[in-house]
């Protein structure tokens, strides 16, 4: 039976940790020039409805490093669900290639793609979830913190797809997750309820950035208006004005707190330049680890 990676909760805690261990091994091999062509002869189709830099580069280069090939399919190449039915696209691609990565708007579209495809499907991002990003985040946190338990993660900003995936990881791995969001911008209610029902992590949703940041080991932010929300930008700037990650907020956190951001970032809005370009920032280690965790995810899907 084929496996997919559509949400972090698709996998058990053990599967997640095994994948992160493999990501570290592949990272070490890459840096030491050790061959690791686990997917030699495999071909991947990458479907993009949204533009991308990190997602495209990390998956494409990652597949090359694993010995495989990639075909990029942009919005005009398929017209997913418009020019051609999603199920037809999935079944056709399954006859040509070995794995599909899709970066889409609607989460229901990636679910339908996976349902109809006979090859593994990876969620490269939807409006609901961004699981590959949070897997890379976890690898980065493990590298920098020197411990894996008793960590407080403070999310400051919008209850968006990355925040929802943080709730998913909190349903699989113990942590203290504090999400500071303005009223009306909370994460998905069903995902929040599901994570709390697991009883594994302490999960707080507050409307005050300082409460979430206090004693945090990690402070995490994202843009206030995501792709597709550009018309809301002015409204969101007003709503989020007290949710900027700045030097004063970082001082409330633990002395060795690190700052994370999935990028792209808007300096002067959700984060100051002094924080994201400062010594506590690990955003580019985080960006690099997209490559290694996604390689590990792809390898695991073929096991």
Which contacts (CB < 8 Å, 24+ apart) does range 230-237 have? 236/158, 237/269
Class of residue 283 by CB neighbours under 10 A (exposed 0-12, middle 13-18, buried 19+): buried
Give the range of the structural domain holding residue 176, as residue numbers without chain letter. Answer: 134-286
Task: Write the pLDDT tens digit of every residue in 50-97.
Answer: 889 999 999 999 999 999 999 999 988 988 888 899 999 999 999 999
**pTM > 0.85: yes or no:** yes
Please check whether residues 140 and 279 belong to one and the same domain.
yes
Whether 2 is in a domain gets the answer no
Quote the distance between the C-alpha of residue 260 and its chain's center: 12
pLDDT at residue 275 greater than cutoff 70 = yes
DSSP β-bridge partners for residue 102? 47, 123
In a domain, 93, yes or no: yes
Residues 116 and 246 in one domain: no
Q: Which residues are catalytic?
A: 262
Percent of the chain topping pLDDT 90: 91
Residue 6 CA to residue 110 CA, distance in Å, equals 8
* 3 state SS of 9: helix
Beta strands in the chain (DSSP E): 43-48, 69-73, 99-103, 121-125, 152-156, 176-180, 202-206, 218-221, 258-261
CATH at residue 237: 3.40.50.1370
Say yes or no: 110 and 141 in one domain.
no
């Amino acid at each position: 039976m084929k496996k997919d990676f559509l949400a972090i909760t698709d996998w058990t805690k053990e599967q997640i940790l095994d994948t992160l261990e493999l990501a570290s091994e592949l990272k070490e091999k890459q840096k030491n020039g050790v061959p690791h062509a686990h997917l030699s002869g495999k071909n991947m189709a990458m479907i993009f409805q949204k533009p991308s830099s990190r997602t495209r580069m990390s998956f494409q280069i990652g597949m090359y490093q694993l010995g495989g090939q990639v075909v990029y399919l942009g919005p005009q190449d398929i017209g997913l669900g418009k020019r051609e039915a999603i199920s037809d696209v999935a079944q056709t691609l399954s006859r040509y290639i070995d794995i599909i990565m899709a970066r889409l708007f609607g989460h229901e579209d990636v679910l339908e793609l996976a349902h109809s495809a006979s090859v593994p499907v990876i969620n490269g991002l939807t409006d609901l979830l961004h699981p590959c990003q949070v897997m890379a985040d976890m690898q980065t946190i493990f590298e920098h913190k020197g411990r894996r338990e008793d960590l407080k993660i403070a999310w400051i900003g919008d209850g968006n797809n990355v925040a929802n995936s943080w709730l998913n990881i909190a349903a699989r791995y113990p942590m203290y997750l504090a999400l500071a969001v303005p009223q009306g911008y909370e994460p998905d209610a069903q995902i929040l309820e599901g994570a709390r029902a697991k009883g594994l992590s302490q999960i707080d949703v507050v409307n005050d950035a300082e409460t979430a940041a206090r004693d945090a080991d990690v402070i995490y932010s994202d843009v206030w208006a995501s792709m597709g929300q550009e018309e809301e930008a002015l409204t969101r700037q007003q709503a989020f004005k007290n949710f900027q990650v700045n030097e004063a907020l970082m001082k409330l956190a633990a002395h060795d707190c690190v700052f994370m951001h999935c990028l792209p970032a808007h300096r002067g809005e959700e984060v100051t330049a002094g924080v994201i370009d400062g010594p506590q920032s690990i955003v580019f280690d985080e960006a690099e680890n997209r490559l290694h965790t996604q390689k590990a995810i792809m390898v695991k899907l073929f096991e």
